Amino acid sequence: MTCERFEELLSAHLEGELGPAEKLEMDAHAAACAACGRLLSLFRETHEALTGFPEVEPSPELMARLHAIPQKKAFFRPAFDFLLRPDLQPVFAALSVFFIALSFVFLMPQGNGIRKALDRQLHLGYGQVEKLYAKAGSVTDELGSLKNTVVDSFKTLTPAKDQGKKR
């Protein structure tokens, strides 16, 4: 048995989970290897110390505070309970992001620059929309005139057909 394997099996050895063959092997290793023998004894001592820690009693003040939890909660519940609903969390998150962005614009010394840049972007966007609208208007006009031309050409074709039939 190697020292590494010996270390791995220490808890199982201590808790009596090993088979007789493995247990014998460990005892033989502990007898032959001084470092592992010492480790086994320290391991036992550690385990004994850990399992010997007594439980501590919580103070009466703590117990009183714990007992009072529902009463405290009931006092705040009517006014604020709706704020704690989990489905409102995304709203709070979005509002936080919005206010942080707002604080960047209004509270930072460079806020003026940000505001100007925002204004510029807004105007650019507005200009683009106006151009698009004007283009859309001219396209509508063109379509209207095209429609009129088509209708006129149909009108001119129809009497010629009628005359052909009469002949």
Residues 35-94 that bind another protein (CB under 8 A): 38-39, 42-43, 45-59, 61-63, 65-67, 69-71, 73-74, 84
SS3 61: helix
Instruction: Please state the three-class secondary structure of 75-130 as a single string.
Output: HHHHHHHHHHCHHHHHHHHHHHHHHHHHHHHHHCCCHHHHHHHHHHHHHHHHHHHH
Name the residue nearer to another protein (CB basis): 81 or 142: 81
- Near another protein by CB under 8 A, which window of 6-14, 100-108, 122-130, 144-152? 6-14
- Terminal alpha carbon distance of the chain: 120
Question: Which residue bears the tokens 């057909």?
Answer: 161
Q: How far is the CB of 137 from another protein (least distance, A)?
A: 59
Contacts with another protein by CB under 8 A lie at 7-8, 10-12, 38-39, 42-43, 45-59, 61-63, 65-67, 69-71, 73-74, 84
